[in-house]
Amino acid sequence: MAAVSSFHPLHGHRHCLLSSSSSSRFYLRLRAHRITSTRRSPPSTAVPIVASSSSSRPLRAAVIGGGPAGASASEALALGGVETFLIERSPSGSKPCGGAIPLCMLSEFDLPAHLVDRCVTRMRVLSPSNRIADFGRSLQPNEFIPMLRREVLDSFLRNRAVSAGAHLLPGLCTSLQLPASESDPYIVHYTASPPSPGSLAGIPSTLAVDVVVGADGANSRVARAVCAGGYATAIAFQERIRLPPAAMSHYADLAEMYVGTDVSPDFYAWVFPKCDHVAVGTGTSIAKHDIKRLQGGIRARAGPKIVGGEVIRVEAHPIPEHPRPRRVVGRVALVGDAAGYVTRCSGEGIYFAAKSGRMCGEAIVRSWKERGMVTETDLKNEYLGKWDDEYLGMFRFLDLLQRVFYGSNAGREALVELCADEYVQRMTFESYLHKRMATGDWWKNLGLAWRTVSSLMRASIVGWEIERLRMTAVDS
């Protein structure tokens, strides 16, 4: 979607307000070190000094959840010399997901080309009146949207974390015991998967760690354990449909997005190509009970293009709508879906999960190396502060776009009308593929603003006329 202006990081309200009391409540005493004050937090007072040997034991960290967020966090931690335990309940499972990642993720995370199933170079948005906006005319030759299978990506990232030194513990985390005092560790209770696939019972085990990274997704148990608060969720529902080859060739490098009240009242429905089938699905936040009807709607709208296909799987998953009230509690940090880092408007979460996992891992390693301890303040400043600085503007902008353009048929028609414009497409791709808020030419931005207003007005006028027709039809 179009990005009009550069975003302004919110520096102002974080200075001078972090108290020393919260940091002195949760910290780990292991080395004789004076806490140096960063530009954001005032120095802690009354730090008890605990003598220890010069070679202190490495920091122990548990990462709960082995998806992109957990794997990236473990990799960053392991590369920094932290003793990392990655707990994942189903290492071979596949997750319901669109499977689209931005182009920058391939380079930032060094993903090899063989992971990518398809390179989507054409994307269509279809309005309620089936007007089509063809994205892809303004793609550079080396730009595309990589589509991949989650099981392939997740296992690659996990294996890489393991080779960096993380210990993978297949099992389900059942509870997290909070420390009684500042120097106590967190106790992770988990049910380790039985080594032999035949036996049913898991082995209850415990793990004592200093830092916990909660990467266990939308129904995060870690978040519940630390009372991080809840969030509103949307539901994404999709069917994987295997198409006959002729129909599949239409979707060889094409992804479609459908908007309209018949397919979703507040989001979009999609047909995304995967390795040998297409994923046809829809999402909604306010009409969850009606999801089956909406799914029928998208199947009807895609119509003749998917007829003759065979449904091979049906899956659904909650998607967080906004971050949890507390993303860092004590020495527990939430990343990825568990923290709520899914953009509105596009519903993207994979890249932000991996990025936040990596940022959190690096923050932990940095504060450990610099100060010999990891405190709640450290996590907030190094991880949350940096994260919010970089991405809050983008998230807020996408929320605005969703509210304006997905909320009504008038907005949707205006959206498709605007998306036909080349400048909008260029801006959208730059922001989406490279995850930077694109700042275009100010003159062109003004023109875009004008066109946005006029499209919205035209669509609104048509909307009112429709309402008027309805009312006269009903009254008569």
Instruction: Say which residues have a Cβ less than 8 Å from residue 372's Cβ, sequence separation at least 6.
Output: 30, 31, 33, 56
Least Cβ distance, residue 36 to another protein (angstroms): 19
Place of tokens 């959208």: 428
Least Cβ distance, residue 321 to another protein (angstroms): 8
| Half-sphere exposure (Cβ direction) of 31: Cα atoms closer than 13 Å | 17
Nearer to another protein by Cβ, of 34 and 396: the residue is: 396
Place of tokens 């994979």: 350
In order of 58, 114, 293, 376, the CA distances from 329 in angstroms are: 22, 39, 40, 7
Which among 95, 197, 106 has a CA at the least distance from the CA of 152?
A: 95
Query: Bridge-partner residues for 18, per DSSP?
Result: none
Nearer to another protein by Cβ, of 80 and 260: the residue is: 260
Least Cβ distance, residue 297 to another protein (angstroms): 5
Sheet containing strand 83-88, edge to edge, reads 203-209, 186-192, 167-177, 83-88, 60-64, 211-214, 332-334, 328-329
Nearer to another protein by Cβ, of 252 and 461: the residue is: 461
Least Cβ distance, residue 254 to another protein (angstroms): 10
Least Cβ distance, residue 197 to another protein (angstroms): 24
Nearer to another protein by Cβ, of 324 and 355: the residue is: 324
Least Cβ distance, residue 363 to another protein (angstroms): 14
Least Cβ distance, residue 76 to another protein (angstroms): 21
Rounded CA separation 323/266 (Å): 19
Q: Is 320 helix (H, G, I), strand (E, B) or coil?
A: strand
Nearer to another protein by Cβ, of 422 and 475: the residue is: 475
Query: Bridge-partner residues for 169, per DSSP?
Result: 87
In single-letter form, the type of residue at position 321 comes to E
Contact 242, 308 (CB under 8 A): no
Cβ count near 129 (within 10 Å): 11
Nearer to another protein by Cβ, of 172 and 392: the residue is: 392
